[in-house]
Amino acid sequence: MAQPQSLICKGCWQNMHVPIALRGPLSVPFRIAGLRPSRMNPNTCTLCELMFKRVMKATKITIDATILFADLRSYTELSQSMSAASMGGMLDVFYDECAGAIWDHDGLLNKTIGDAVMAVFNFPIRQADHARQALLAAHEIQRRVRARKAEAGLDFGVGIGIHCGELSFGEFGRSHRDLTAIGTVVNTAARLQGAAAPGEILATEAVRERVGELMQGSVGQPTSLKGFDSPIMLYRA
C-alpha cells in the first residue's frame, strides 16, 4: 500500500530541523521562494537535491548508501511488434511503478536511463536500514510490474540489482552538470541488474549481511561479471 505523501520535506526536517511545507496552504510561501517537491522524491524538496552543497559545504560527498538498478526486459523485442505510442505508454507505466515503490521506501529516484531506473537509498533521507528498504522496494517493484503485466496481457519482466557501501554523491561534470552517485558500488549494482533474469532480484553479500531475515536461506553463487577481475558472490533475493 502506498504511503501518504508527507506535508513537510523529510530531508530538510531530518538534516536541519526546518519544516519546509510541501503541500497545502502553508506551502505557498515556499513555492514562491522556489522550493517545490523534488522530482527525485516528492517527499523531499528541491533544496534537498543540493543538500550536500548547501549544508555540508561540498560539491561531492562520500556516503554509505544502497544503489538499486531496475531494467525493463524484452523492451527491444516488444518494440518490433508494438506501436511507438504503446511502447511509450508501457515505459511510462514502468517508470511510474518503480517511482512509487522507491518513494514508498524513502529512496531517491536518481535516474531514468532508457528502459532502466537507478535509485539511491540513504540520501537525503537518512535510513539506518537503507539496504533493507531498497530490497523491500525491489520486491514491491516486481509485485507492481506483475500486476500490470497481467492487466495488459504482455510478456515482459524486470531485472533488479542491489549493492551497498561507500560511494561518491554530488555534482559531476562542467559543461553539463549531473547530480548522481558514482563508484564501485554503483557499477556493481548495474552489473547485477544486467545479470538478473526477468522477475529476479540479485543482491551482493554486503546487502545480504544487512537485511537479516529478508534473505535468510539465500545461497550465494559466484558469478563473473563484466569489468570485474574476480567472480562476485551473488544472492537471489
Q: 81 and 42, same structural domain? A: no
Q: 167 and 119, same structural domain? A: yes
Q: How many domains does the chain have?
A: 2
Q: Quick one: average pLDDT of 34-48?
A: 91
Do 109 and 137 touch, CB atoms closer than 8 A? no
Q: 17 and 106, same structural domain? A: no
How many secondary structure helices (H) and strands (E) does the chain include? Answer: 8, 8
Terminal-to-terminal C-alpha distance of the chain: 21
Tell how strand 158-172 and strand 201-204 pair up: parallel
Q: 40 and 64, same structural domain? A: no
Bond into 124 cis (ω within 30): yes
Q: In this predicted structure, what is the pLDDT of residue 227? A: 87
Task: Tell me if 4 is assigned to some domain.
Answer: no
Q: 101 and 37, same structural domain? A: no
Q: What 3-state class would DSSP assign to 56?
A: coil
Q: What 3-state class would DSSP assign to 221?
A: strand
Whole-angstrom distance, CA of residue 3 vs CA of residue 1: 6
Tell me the C-alpha to C-alpha distance, in Å, between residue 58 and each of 48, 54, 170, 207.
14, 8, 8, 28
Task: Tell me if 5 is assigned to some domain.
Answer: no
Q: In this predicted structure, what is the pLDDT of residue 211? A: 97
Q: 158 and 97, same structural domain? A: yes
Q: Which amino acid is at 68?
A: L
Model confidence over 117-172: pLDDT tens digits? 999 999 889 999 999 999 999 999 999 988 887 776 667 789 999 999 999 988 77
pLDDT tops 60 at residue 1: no
Task: Tell me if 98 is assigned to some domain.
Answer: yes
Task: Tell me if 14 is assigned to some domain.
Answer: yes
Q: 37 and 129, same structural domain? A: no
User: What's the CATH number where 184 sits?
Assistant: 3.30.70.1230
Q: 116 and 228, same structural domain? A: yes
Please calculate the CA angle 103-156-39 and round it to the nearest 5 degrees.
Answer: 25
Parent domain of 23:
10-46
Q: What is the DSSP string of 138-203?
A: HHHHHHHHHHHHHHHT----EEEEEEEEEEEEEEE-SSS-EEEEESHHHHHHHHHHHHPPTT-EEE
Give percent of the chain with pLDDT exceeding 90: 60
Where b means 16+ CB within 10 Å and e means fewer, 63-93 reads: bebbbbbbbbbebeebeeeeeeeebeebbeb
Q: Which of 80-89, 133-142, 164-173, 217-226 is predicted least confidently? A: 80-89
Whole-angstrom distance, CA of residue 11 vs CA of residue 34: 16
pLDDT tops 80 at residue 75: no
Q: 193 and 125, same structural domain? A: yes
Q: 65 and 121, same structural domain? A: yes
Q: In this predicted structure, what is the pLDDT of residue 176? A: 59
